[in-house]
């Protein structure tokens, strides 16, 4: 009566775990709220409220704000990973995962793969909302896709960082509030919504230290010039650096848990 099993394999286990996370989202569509509602709402509010004041009109403001809100949404989607991982760890299901003869990091890897879908949806929503509001990037569709992919990769890299936070934090609520705060500060103290020259000197200094500023600049340049700029290389390298440093740390924290 033995049931035939093959030994756990990382790729298959991760795929199953990613599938599980997707199922959870499908059953609870409100998990997509932050990546769908938030960019639409922000795009509309900021565009129509501040467009006139900052850029002299909605249309002129869109090239500034579309990349800004795209990156802000990536940040917020990535920061959701931490809370979800913590929530999962605190539920009884994780005990079962751990007692199964499966690849040890599969639950973590599955979560991060499923998260890239959230990032993808966030990107589509942000760019589409911009388009509907009248945003017409000078670079072609190909470069829009490139900038979207760069944003997704950056968000995915950052989700490792937030996952680490989730693993180290005491409760899901702690992760949630910390992530929201980080997201707000990083996205607002940058060039996401206003030109840096309009800021006071100390604030400019901080915004220049903020990696979000560089990501937004890179995406704006790609969309404006239709070319892969040094700024884009820098952001790509930054993203790879984050993954290289934080992926092992996150796996370590996960093992320790």
Partner 1 sequence: MSAIHAIEVRHLSKRFGQKMVVDDLSFNVRQGEVFGLLGPNGAGKTTTLRMLTTLLKADAGQVKIFGHDTVKEGRLARSMFGLTGQYASVDEDISARENLMIFARLNGLSRAAAKQRTAELLADFSLADSADKALANFSGGMRRRLDLAVSLITRPALIFLDEPTTGLDPRTRTQMWATIRGLVKQGSTIVLTTQYLDEADQLADRLAVIDHGRLVKMGTPAELKQQVGGTQLAFTVSQGAQVARAVKLVAAQVAGTVQQTGQRLSVRLTQLAQLPLILAALDQAKILIDHLSVQEPSLDDVFMDLTIGQN
256 binds partner 1 (CB under 8 A): no
Please select the residue that binds partner 1; options are 60, 100, 185, 240, rule is CB under 8 A: 100
Q: Which residues contact 202 (CB under 8 A, 6 or more apart)?
A: none
The interface region with partner 1, picked from 7-15, 154-162, 199-207, 208-216 by CB under 8 A, is 7-15
Distance (Å, whole) CA 243 – CA 188? 24
Residue from the set 29, 53, 92, 200 that interacts with partner 1 by CB under 8 A: 92
Binding test (CB under 8 A) with partner 1, winner from 11, 41, 57, 95: 95
Helices H / strands E in the chain, number of each: 10, 0
Instruction: Determine, following the binding rule CB under 8 A, whether residue 188 of this chain makes contact with partner 1.
Output: no
Q: Site map for partner 1, 104-123, x if CB under 8 A?
A: --x-----------------
Which position has the token pair 């390298």? 237
Q: Which runs of E-coded beta strand occur in 79-135?
A: none
Considering the rule CB under 8 A, would residue 81 count as an interface residue with partner 1? Answer: no
Contact flag: residue 170 with partner 1 (CB under 8 A): no
Per-residue CA distances from 161 to 48, 59, 79, 137, 187 (Å):
33, 35, 8, 31, 16
252 binds partner 1 (CB under 8 A): no
Binding mask 16-45 for partner 1 (x = CB under 8 A): xx-xx--xx--xx-----------------
**Of 10 and 209, which CB lies nearer to partner 1 in the complex structure?**
10
Nearer to partner 1, 28 or 177 (CB): 28
User: Residue from 29, 53, 99, 230 that binds partner 1 (CB under 8 A)?
Assistant: 99
In the block, which residue shows the tokens 């400019």?
204
What is the spatial distance between Cα 142 and Cα 140, in angstroms, rounded to a whole number? 5
Q: How far is CA 184 from CA 10, 73, 212, in A?
A: 36, 11, 11
């Amino acid at each position: 009566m033995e049931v035939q099993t093959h030994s756990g394999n990382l790729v298959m286990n991760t795929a199953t775990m990613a599938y599980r996370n997707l199922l959870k989202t499908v059953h609870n569509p409100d998990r997509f709220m932050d990546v769908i509602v938030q960019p639409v709402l922000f795009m509309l509010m900021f565009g129509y409220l501040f467009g006139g004041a900052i850029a002299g009109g909605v249309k002129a403001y869109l090239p500034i704000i579309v990349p800004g809100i795209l990156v802000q949404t990536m940040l917020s989607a990535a920061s959701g990973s931490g809370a979800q991982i913590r929530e999962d760890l605190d539920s009884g299901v994780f005990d079962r995962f751990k007692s199964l003869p499966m690849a040890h990091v599969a639950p973590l890897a599955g979560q991060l793969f499923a998260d890239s879908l959230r990032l993808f949806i966030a990107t589509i929503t942000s760019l589409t909302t911009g388009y509907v509001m009248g945003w017409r990037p000078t670079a072609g569709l190909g470069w829009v896709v490139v900038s979207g992919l760069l944003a997704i990769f950056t968000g995915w890299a950052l989700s490792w960082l937030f996952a680490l936070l989730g693993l180290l934090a005491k409760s899901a609520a702690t992760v949630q509030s910390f992530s929201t705060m980080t997201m707000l500060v990083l996205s607002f103290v940058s060039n996401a919504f206003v030109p840096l020259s309009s800021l006071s000197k100390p604030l400019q200094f901080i915004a220049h230290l903020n990696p979000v500023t560089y990501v937004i600049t890179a995406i704006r340049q790609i969309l404006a010039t239709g070319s892969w700029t040094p700024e884009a290389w820098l952001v790509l390298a930054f993203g790879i650096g984050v993954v290289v440093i934080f992926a092992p740390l996150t796996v370590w924290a996960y093992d320790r848990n």
